[in-house]
Amino acid sequence: MKEIGLHIKIHFYEMEELPKEERELVERAIAATDHAYAKYSNFRVGAAIRLSDGSVMIGANQENAAFPSGLCAERTAIFAAQAQYPEKAITMLAVAARNENGLLKEPVTPCGSCRQVMLEVEDRYQQPMKVLLYGTDGVYVIDSAKDMVPLSFISENLKG
Ligand code: THU
């Protein structure tokens, strides 16, 4: 028996120290929380993604009385981008969230389904997507979505 340790690298930035391109994307994600339709949870999530041509698209969570019919902010942004601009890779994704007390103090962490979708994006475009997770305390910057999913399952694994 041997033990396998997995190492995850997260850069923790103050908002002010983030490079301009990253900071702007985080600001777009914060603003996108206003677009959430979060009638049931009152948890408003905003996502902003940067495409390979530098353009930005936003997403916000959309809830539904029939619970599973809703969708997270990250996936509304990713799917809209891929539906409209399938030829453009997604290079960065920023996420922010607020509840009735305001913006979250701790960086918001995407759910498992969104992480799986992010992995597919990296697999599809064969390049890493930088992930920026905002909290009022600071921003987690993760170089690649795959760093958030140890022991991930992607198309390569289908080959065995
Ligand atoms: N949600 C997101 O939009 N993104 C996340 O990363 C976590 C959760 C949404 C789903 C649901 O509308 C609400 O937040 C509460 O779970």
Sites in the chain below the pLDDT cut of 50: none
How many CB atoms are located within 10 Å of the residue 145 CB?
26
Contact 23, 8 (CB under 8 A): no
> Catalytic: 74?
yes
Report the nearest atom of ligand 1 relative to the CA of 61. Answer: 3
151: left (phi over 0), alpha (psi -120 to 50) or beta: left
110 Cβ closer than 6 Å to some ligand 1 atom:
yes
pLDDT of residue 160: 84
pLDDT of residue 97: 98
Residue of minimum CA distance from atom 9 in ligand 1: 72
- Residue-wise pLDDT for 108-148, tens only, equals 999 999 999 999 999 999 999 999 999 999 999 999 999 99
Is domain 15-149 in CATH 3.40.140.10, yes or no? yes
The residue whose CB lies within 8 Å of the most ligand 1 atoms, and thus the one to mutate among 45, 71, 95, is 45
63 Cβ closer than 6 Å to some ligand 1 atom:
yes
The residue whose CB lies within 8 Å of the most ligand 1 atoms, and thus the one to mutate among 30, 33, 41, 58, is 41
pLDDT of residue 144: 98
Q: What is d(CA 26, CA 15) in angstroms, rounded to the nearest whole number?
A: 9
